[in-house]
Structure 1
Amino acid sequence: MVGFWGRRRREAQEQQESADADLGRRARTALVTADERIRTTEDELAFAVAELGETPTRELRTGLDAVKTHLAEAFHLHQLNHDEIPDAVEEVRTRNARILQLCEWAESVLDERTEALGERVARVRRAPRILQRVRDDISALRGRLPQMRETIERLGERYSASALQRVRITAEEAEELLDFAERSADLSERRRAAGRAEEANLALETATETVRRAASIVDGVDGFEIEAMRAQATLGDVIEDSRGDLIAARSAPRTPAVTHAVERLEAALAEIASPGGRSDPFADLASVSEANAALDAAVAQARERAAHPLPSAEHVWHEVGVADRALGIADGLINGHRGWIGADARTRFAEAQRIRFEIDPLVVPEETRERAQQLARRTAQLADEAVRLAQRDIDSSRPDDDDWGGWGGHRGARGGAGVLGPVLGGVLLGGLLDDIFD
């Protein structure tokens, strides 16, 4: 047995020594890799500063300084592991784990900062191609300006000022943007030639964004004409549908809501500009569509109401009276047999009482009478269920004979079971029966 445990200890010690040796090798490798990564990043930072300037590269410089500080700690820990004075195995193991942690942190920081900067550096290196594309776009957009002016003039003859508010940018304003983009592109080129990379990049970004805005304006004019034509086509369909709905509404019940909806749709149709006039198809389409939908809803509601007329207030009060009588019966049964009534019957009764309190304010207004009727019927239903469940509890608890079986030992309980049963049931629940008959 002693030999067995000795062998087990030696095996465990050998495993720990192997793990410690592996940890040490990993710490040394990570230290070398992190140090080399710092040197490489310093070179990348120098190139980035030359291409982007100081401001865009500030975060990478800050991260690099922090990494150097922490890696100095890692080198110090590694030095302690190789001092002439031998250390405890646990101390060496702790230092190596800390070295690994610091090196992994350094790698992650540098990965994050260089990745964020990489796209900007790549963009700068593509600057000549980007600059040429900006100039090509400016030239192409300038070629479209005459057509844009013709389109705006044509739109002004066909559509009202309110419609043209959706195209508030004129050809002159688009041309101003293109001039500004061209000046920005020239400035970027001059600043880059002068070695002022940060200003060159800013001017290039400005030129790119300005060209994008000018393109959206020019495209927006063409897009407006297309969308206006679609709106006009849709408006024709909606007008035809609305006229058919007005004819159909004549056979619908003439409720105030239907009358108002008919007048509103007729007014919306009358406001549409005559053919050949300047119009706003977007506003016309919105107005007619909204009035058409309102008429459809009013007619549907009127027909539904005709098929299912509102109950009169007197009829609703009658149903409320039925509910009140059902509540009275349930109340009398539960209060008269409290000792025997279980949770189900009490819950139905409480819910019926809660719903009953909601009914009275709903009876008079026409729009809420149906709700009041539903609540009254629900109250009566719950009250009836409470009575049925209460009767079930009473029947299941009633003794088979007048002797009252288990309560026979209490003098005075015999012979009066039918009257005292519910009372004694409550007394039992309160634990007072023995005191009463003492």
Structure 2
Amino acid sequence: MTISTEDPVPVARAGPVASAAAPERDETSPTDLLLPLAVLGAAGVLAGYGYVRRTRRARTRTTPGMVSVRPPAPTADEFERQARTALVVADDSVRTSREELAFAEALSGAEAVAPFARALRAAETELAAAFAIRRRYEQGVPQDEVARRQALVGVVGRCAEAGRRLDAEAPGFDQLRALERGAGEALEIAEGRFRELAGRTGGAALTLGGLGERFAASVVKPVTGYLEQAKDRLVFATGHLNACRQADDAAARERAARHLRAAEGAIAQADVLVSGVERLAAQVREAAGLVPAALTGAEAEIAAAREAGPADVPAGELRARIARADGVLRAVREELTGGPYDPVGALRHIARAVEPLGVGRAGVIGAAVRLVARGAVGAAEDFVDTHRGAVGAEARTLLAEAARLLAVGGPGVALADQLARQARDLAERDVRAHGTPYSGDPVTGLGGAVLGGILLAEEPDGGPPASFGGPETRGRRGLRPGRPPGPDPA
């Protein structure tokens, strides 16, 4: 399970609606043909169970009553909750599997992990199709009520298939890692990444301080608090690395594997947070170097619009657009000479100012749009990655669409920037509403580990660490019945 207020994920397979959303295939697989039947079968089982319960209640009532021969169908709200929950669980499963796969590859090599990498790519494809269906649904497509419910079933089915792909490979993946036979080299790799990250965290702090001194405060806003969170993850990792080594020395292999996976998850998220600061610094430096050229390019586009603007824009409207663009460029120049400024924000203003002129987005303006969009999508990805225990389906759907548009390129890149920023805002709203779980727990870093989805919050000590796999297997390293939570015995 994941930290969410939504309903548990339904185990259903994709139907025809979902299949239409996925990339075209060369041939129809037997799985695709069976998916609608699986969805209907699961729905029938649940409906039948409910019918039997209602019938028994009716028979034991003292007052006469009518028993409906048909159980009520799920409501639109129930379909909605199932689809949202399915997206969150599938997305979490993919993100966690990607993280652990990197640790496995560091030890065993790319060739050894190739089958699991293929399964992950297949799951990513199914998840992308699910997000695409959900995105169109939110835009009102399709309009027919029955078709809209089928679309939600398609979302659930695609997510179920993504999870199935990962669940099917989890046993083989565990055999490759062989953590239950001894942490050994896997522990050494985790400790090596830990030490490297500890050094980078100090350097990133200096970098962040330099950005704050040179540029406007808005520059560092996307990564505010990241280094503190990275340190929190590293403190959490420290405790579990030590516990893993103690358990491994005591031949408590299962407990050692549990501690190692918790540490690996924390290290991976610390890496995301530190890398986010480093990437922002590089982006700001690149943007600062591009601003003068972007101003020149924007002036050229304004001149071209004056000479021959879009044919479908009335002359009066075109003059108004040109005037607004001129005003934006003047404001940007004033920012450049008036003290600390935001280079990324300046590029965003320039690009948006000339966009309505419709004279083309090639050259330096196009480069500015791509730079800004990459930064926005990357920042939103980092936030969702490290707060996945609280972020809901709405933010993830917008982020998936932003990432798709950025990958496709062309005119949609500007929209990718907008959607990514909206996704980040929604994700932050979700985190504020969720709060910090386990904040009063004496185990240092536990709250951040649960908020980040490193632990699944199913047990008193924060729950099992999330592992490679889908909904059925990702929590397999939980405590066995009768085993108390807490540190390993000395």
The answer to whether the superposition gives a TM-score over 0.5 is: no
| TM-score interval, smaller chain | 0.3 to 0.5
Q: TM-score, normalised by structure 1?
A: 0.39
Q: Which has the larger radius of gyration?
A: 1
Q: TM-score, normalised by structure 2?
A: 0.35
- Ranked by relative contact order (alpha carbons within 8 Å, sequence separation 6 or more), the top structure is 2
Higher-helix-fraction structure? 1
